Amino acid sequence: MPLREPRRVLVTGGAGFIGSNFVHYWCDRYPVDRVVVLDLLSYAGNRRTLEALEGQENFRFVQGDICDRTLVDALLKAENLDTIAHFAAESHVDRSILGPEAFVRTNVLGTSTLLEAFRQRWNKRGCPQSDRFLHISTDEVYGSLGPDDPPFTETTPYSPNSPYAASKAGSDHLVRAYRHTYGLPTLITNCSNNYGPYQFPEKLIPLICINILLGKSLPVYGDGQNVRDWLYVGDHCSALDVVLHKGTPGETYNIGGNTQIKNIDLVYTLCQLMDELAPNLPVHPSRDLITFVKDRPGHDRRYAIDASKIKTQLGWTPQESIQGSLRRTVKWYLTHRDWWEPLLSEEYQAYYRQVYA
């Protein structure tokens, strides 16, 4: 463990996919730090993901809304927090198409509430330059690339296309403005698509794994030629660690896996892995389940991240190979049915019918 002053970290959205992976990573790596999770436990939040930490002295879970200013003020003060790692968000593009308002509320108003609470607390604490507000954002704010376009850099103009991406862009702009206007020690990261354990079943990789296990059709939007740049969630956590410790306040860092894959190729790979690893699948070979369905409205064609700034300035590169970590992820969904099965609730079935009907 590195020698350093203990930090007191508020992790918003710490019961979600990336937030929970980050909390496990952080508590493991920095056991002297205080970690307080603030999570509303929306449909995407799952307290069971953090149960191994419950009861540990330096960990606390608070169920609550980042839009609740009174609660956020009280937490920042009572816990004397010096760091915010802000993951909480509505995060699924398809849901943002069905209902954008929740995205504006949580992603824009929620971030604005946190920033204002943090600003006032930071002033009261005497404006320590070592405090940090780390805002976790997405590459989707940059819009869509053509097949031969160079990957997104930190200076690519924002051009968000979905309500999700637009709400994240709005939150990024607020963070930037708080740095520019008030000098807050903020950092922004824009990351590509993550995969790994504890991802909610609605996202592509868990959805395909789970549907194969249940013998359900595998919905591929449009022609399946859309490209995403995939990053293992553990690599995202190590990048955030590096940004928090070495990043320059006011800066933005792109984080990506340098692994561009067409959706249909990814689905084929997942089918192959499942066929190899899962005994007694309801349908074998599982690629027989692939079904091309109506495209997502406004579906971005391609994302790709140029992560050379974080590499050259902070020395971070992803450690995981896609082959190894996809295999591990597939195995995780195979062996953690008890984690994902309860999430296939009535509410989820209703959502599923709405999107895929």
Give catalytic residues, as residue numbers: 139-140, 164
DSSP-derived letter for residue 187 is E
Rg of the chain over all Cα atoms, to the nearest angstrom: 20
Q: Which does 187 bind (CB under 5 to 8 A by kind): ligand NAD, ligand TYD, none?
A: none
**Binding string to ligand NAD for residues 83 to 122, with x set by CB under 6 A, is what?**
----xxx-x--------------x---x------------
- Asked if 40 touches ligand NAD (CB under 6 A), the answer is yes
Residues that contact ligand TYD, how many (by CB under 6 A): 12
Residue from 45, 201, 219, 234 touching ligand TYD (CB under 6 A): that is 219
Q: Which residues in the chain belong to E strands, given as ranges?
A: 8-12, 34-39, 59-63, 83-86, 132-138, 186-191, 193-195, 218-221, 227-232, 252-255, 260-262, 290-293
By beta-carbon proximity to ligand TYD, the closer residue of 108 and 204 is 204
Q: Are 45 and 15 in contact (CB under 8 A)?
A: yes
Residue from 220, 237, 239, 270 touching ligand TYD (CB under 6 A): that is 220
For residue 278, what is the enclosing H or E element?
none
d(CA 183, CA 91): 28
- Asked if 228 touches ligand TYD (CB under 6 A), the answer is yes
Residues 6 or more apart whose CB falls under 8 angstroms from that of 262 comprise 224, 225, 226, 227
Q: Which does 17 bind (CB under 5 to 8 A by kind): ligand TYD, ligand NAD, none?
A: ligand NAD
Chain position carrying tokens 């959205």? 13
- Asked if 163 touches ligand NAD (CB under 6 A), the answer is no
Q: Which does 39 bind (CB under 5 to 8 A by kind): ligand NAD, ligand TYD, none?
A: ligand NAD
Q: Residue 337's CB: how many other CB atoms inside 10 A?
A: 11
Q: Are 187 and 132 in contact (CB under 8 A)?
A: yes
Residues that contact ligand NAD, how many (by CB under 6 A): 30
Residues 88-107 that bind ligand TYD (CB under 6 A): 93
Q: Which does 168 bind (CB under 5 to 8 A by kind): ligand NAD, ligand TYD, none?
A: ligand NAD
Could you tell me the two tokens for 304?
């790709």
Residues 271-330 that bind ligand TYD (CB under 6 A): 296
- Asked if 204 touches ligand TYD (CB under 6 A), the answer is yes
Residues 181-200 that bind ligand TYD (CB under 6 A): 193
